[in-house]
Chain A
Amino acid sequence: MFYRMHVLVEMSSTSIPLGAAQIKERLEREVEKAGLSQEIQILESGSLGAAVPSPFIAVYPDNIVYAPVKIGEVKRIVEEHFLKGRPVKDLIYFKEKTPGVHAFLPRSPLAKEKRVVLRNSGLIDPMNIEDYIARDGYLALARVLSLSPEEVIGIVKDSGLLGRGGAGFPTGLKWEFTYKAPGEEKYIVCNADEGEPGTFKDRLILEGDPHSVLEAMAIAGYAVGANTGYIYIRAEYPESIRHLETAIEQANQRGLLGKDIFGSGFDFQVKIRKGAGAYVCGEETALLESIEGGRGEPRVKPPYPPQSGLWGKPTVINNVETLANIPPIILNGPQWFKNIGTPTCPGTKVFTLTGNINNLGLTEVPMGITLRELILEIGGGVAQGNGLKLVQTGGPSGGTMTPDLLDVPMDFDTLPKYNSALGSGALTVIDDTHCIVDVTKNFCRFFLHESCGKCTPCRIGNKRVVEILERISVGEGKMEDLDTLKFLGEHMKTTSFCGLGQAAPNPLLRCLVFFQEEFEAHIVDKKCLTGSCEMNKGQKVLVH
């Protein structure tokens, strides 16, 4: 079947809650009514990020994007544009003049963006493997199979790629440790359990381009000598799971996964494991426990997973975004990758803009970009013209940045110098109408809820911290509470068993320093300076 026009409807977890499924349905009905079903193909696509508001409709080969589309406008688009060939000017979000076909990359309207990981998202139908293949999909895997495992590891090491899950460990080294670890049986695990509040990059990568992650897992498998990969994904992500299941099935059918890939003798299968609502399972050893069917409680390290991981076998655990970087690195070479970003943190980073910001959504930019560029240029500034109070980078377990730090380069090396962290790339912007006691309490409640209970500092520490903050926020705090909070926070940091408990007091400790006068106003004056917390509303305390 040959179509004269391809229409992509954004079906992502950002657009579906805004009615994308109904828009697609209406579009199909209107196209049918106009008698165009034989000429126009309607496909699903992933998110284009913060650059383009959701839900969008992209029309190829015209290269016209309508966004954000309202259901009532669908009829007009079909009748005017599709039937009469007159694009609906007042609904166009941006128009690219370059002639192209279905698989072309529209230049992002944001000059700062650089798409490596999201190279296909929003451009291809993620449910159709041929779209991915048309954009050089599985070419990197084919190339890798003619190299030796050492050569593949060498390329990844040379690229300087650092793990994008938050810790920033060199990916090539992880692969090398696993390759060198003795044992016949090894595993590749893709960590898609992104639970850090404010993070949804992995979700949109998996929805928009699932094959890039599958291809990378097979490449990793060949490099370290593993024949099975597991993707551990949150139960909250049904669309990503559906896309992955379809992608795995299609890749198996075409022999791009499974037995004897490309006739090379290399076998690789991928299985999906669903989480069941536990943030701690994003911690890599807790994740392994969960795949093994148990309670997701972290293990003692060392031994690290490259020595002893899944069922005690050498295991590579990589984040979704890390893996999605692998095929372009293989195809373009390590030097190409090193030319992007900063010398010590090459490549791009996907950030998610959340909270009180005008343009919500994800954006991919070179490492080393400043918060100012992210918030003002890409995010369109603080919502409703309010002032900026703080930006939480990397979610609650990351770092707190105040407005005086807007020009610090965002990368794995620089942020720790400011007691902050890049983490997963979540940015939660909080404006000056919010009360710091309320915000801090929110962060701490999250950790209280998600603590697995294995170790005392985290289990009891978070409980006590939340209790004290609840007292302060209703005007029953004492000045010595501030010392107790600091004492508890520092002890949790140094004595907790895993990263969850160690990172839990981060926002608390930073906010106590930056916003001391606000805490004191709640304690001494029984007053909230912003007037936005429970103290003034007389709300009942929420207990999880």
Chain B
Amino acid sequence: METIKWEDEHIFQEVDSIIEKYWEEKSPLLCVLQEISLRWHYLPRPLMQHVAEKLDVPSSKVYGVATFYSFLETEPIGQHVVRVCESAPCHVRGAMDVLSTLKRELGIKEGETTRDGKFTLEVTSCLGVCGVAPAMMIDQVTYGNLTPERIREVLTLYN
């Protein structure tokens, strides 16, 4: 995991250039937070504070938005986020087995991060790939028709 050095000016410059990109938009807050989260995997508090000042919105509003959406994190998370779909179409095709296999393979429970900071395991609502249920998403990539064997195979791609 990348350690952020707050004395480093260029981090704030990077945030400024993100804000610049959306400056013309009527309400850029969510777009800016999404980009920051793409870049640093989560929303570090000093950056949220900086965004609040630059966009001239209360920091309570920034924090409110940051904590509302499940794709935005306010605490550091793993390098890769594994999201297991637990909605009904996956549930009736064995999503619980997918989850238990992942827990066993990664040695963590849902909501936790592996000790090496590599994976965070989360349970999520429908991913919209019910045609290949049961499914999971790792970062931006979706994997379907999961079996314990296929899960192990997929995980090796990230090791």
Shortest Cβ gap from A193 to chain B (Å): 10
Interface centre among B27, B92, B133 (most CB of A within 10 A): B92
Q: A436-453 interface mask toward B, CB cutoff 8 Å, 1 = contact, 0 = none? A: 000100110110011010
Residues of chain B within 8 A of A396, CB atoms compared = 87-88
Report A-chain residues with C-beta under 8 Å of the C-beta of B128. 13, 194-195, 199-200, 203, 234, 236-237
* Residue among A54, A198, A276 making CB contact with B30, cutoff 8 Å: A276
Say yes or no: A392 contacts B88, CB within 8 Å. yes
Query: B41-82: which residues lie under 8 A (CB-CB) from chain A?
Result: 61, 64-65, 68-72
Given the contacts A14-B132, A360-B131, A198 and B92 also touching, CB distance less than 8 Å? no
The answer to whether A293 and B27 touch (CB under 8 A), given A276-B71, A276-B72, is yes
Min C-beta distance of A246 to chain B, whole Å: 17
User: How big is the A interface, by class?
Assistant: 35 or more
- Tell me the complex Cα distance, A194–B129, Å: 11
Closest to A281 in B: B69
Is B5 part of the binding interface, using a Cβ–Cβ cutoff of 8 Å? no
**In the complex, residue of chain B having the shortest beta-carbon distance to the beta carbon of A450:** B125
Instruction: Say yes or no: is A17 at the interface (Cβ < 8 Å to chain B).
Output: yes
Task: Give B63 Cβ to nearest chain A Cβ, in Å.
Answer: 10
Inter-chain contact A277/B143, CB cutoff 8 Å: no
Partner of A361, one of B31, B33, B69, B131: B131
Q: Which residues of A contact B99 (CB under 8 A)?
A: 542
Q: Which of A439-477 contact B (CB under 8 A)?
A: 439, 442-443, 445-446, 449-450, 452
Which residues of the partner chain A approach B126 to less than 8 Å between Cβ atoms? 195-199, 446
Residues of chain B within 8 A (CB-CB) of A296 are 68-69
Q: Is B26 an interface residue (CB 8 A)?
A: yes
Contacting residues, chain A, for B31 (C-beta < 8 A)? 273-274, 293
Taking the closest CB of chain A, its distance from the CB of B22, in whole angstroms, is: 9
What is the CA–CA distance of A197 and B93 in the complex, to the nearest angstrom? Answer: 14
* B28 contacts the other chain (CB 8 A): yes
- The CB with the most chain A CB atoms within 10 A, among B68, B88, B96, is that of B88
Please name all residues of chain A whose beta carbon is closer than 8 Å to the beta carbon of B72 when the two chains form the complex.
276-277
Contacts of A149-165 to chain B: CB distance below 8 A: none
Distance (Å) between the CB of B72 and the closest chain A CB?
6
A251 to chain B, nearest CB (A): 20
The 8 A CB mask of A528-542 against B (1 = contact, 0 = none) is 000000000001001
Contact among B26, B33, B129 for A13, CB-based, below 8 A: B129
Q: Is B19 an interface residue (CB 8 A)?
A: no
CB contacts (< 8 Å) of A275 on chain B: these are 69, 71
Q: Which residues of A contact B89 (CB under 8 A)?
A: 197-198, 354-355, 426, 428
Do residues A277 and B70 form an inter-chain contact, with CB atoms below 8 A? Answer: yes
A278 at the binding interface (Cβ < 8 Å): yes
Contact string against B for A residues 184-223, beta-carbon threshold 8 Å, 1 for contact and 0 otherwise: 0000000000111111100100000000000000000000
B34 pairs with A439, CB closer than 8 A: no
Complex-state Cα separation, A194 to B128, whole angstroms: 8
Instruction: Check A54/B88 contact, CB under 8 A, given A236-B137, A293-B28, A450-B125.
Output: no
Q: A197 contacts B64, CB within 8 Å?
A: no
Instruction: Enumerate chain B residues within 8 angstroms of A544, measured Cβ to Cβ.
Output: 123
Cα(A293)–Cα(B56), bound, Å = 13
A235 within 8 A of B: yes
Return chain A residues, CB-CB under 8 Å to B91: 439, 442
Across the interface, name the chain A residue whose C-beta is closest to B110.
A542
Given contacts A16-B142, A17-B132, A54-B131, contact A428 B123 (CB under 8 A): no
In the bound complex, how far is the Cα of B65 from the Cα of A13, in angstroms? 29
- Cβ contact of B68, chosen from A199, A295, A434, cutoff 8 A: A295
Residue A18 lies at the interface, judged by CB distance under 8 Å to chain B: yes
Check if A348 is an interface residue, CB within 8 A of chain B.
no
- Contact A362 to B131, CB < 8 A, known contacts A16-B142, A197-B89, A236-B137: yes
CB of B151 within 8 Å of the partner chain: no
Instruction: Report if A82 contacts B (CB, 8 A).
Output: no
Closest to B127 in A: A236
Residues of chain B lying within 8 A (CB to CB) of residue A72: none
Q: Is there contact, CB below 8 Å, between A277 and B69?
A: yes
Q: How far is the CA of A235 from the CA of B130 in the complex (A)?
A: 16
B121 at interface (Cβ–Cβ under 8 A)?
A: no
Known: A18-B144, A428-B89. A278 touches B96 (CB 8 A): no
Q: Is A311 an interface residue (CB 8 A)?
A: yes
Complex Cα spacing A194 to B92, Å: 20
Known: A18-B144, A274-B34, A355-B88. 12 other contacts (CB 8 A): A199-B126, A273-B30, A276-B72, A279-B125, A290-B30, A296-B69, A354-B133, A395-B88, A449-B125, A539-B96, A542-B86, A544-B123
Question: 8 pairs across A/B with beta carbons < 8 Å?
Answer: A13-B128, A14-B144, A54-B132, A292-B27, A295-B68, A354-B89, A392-B88, A428-B92
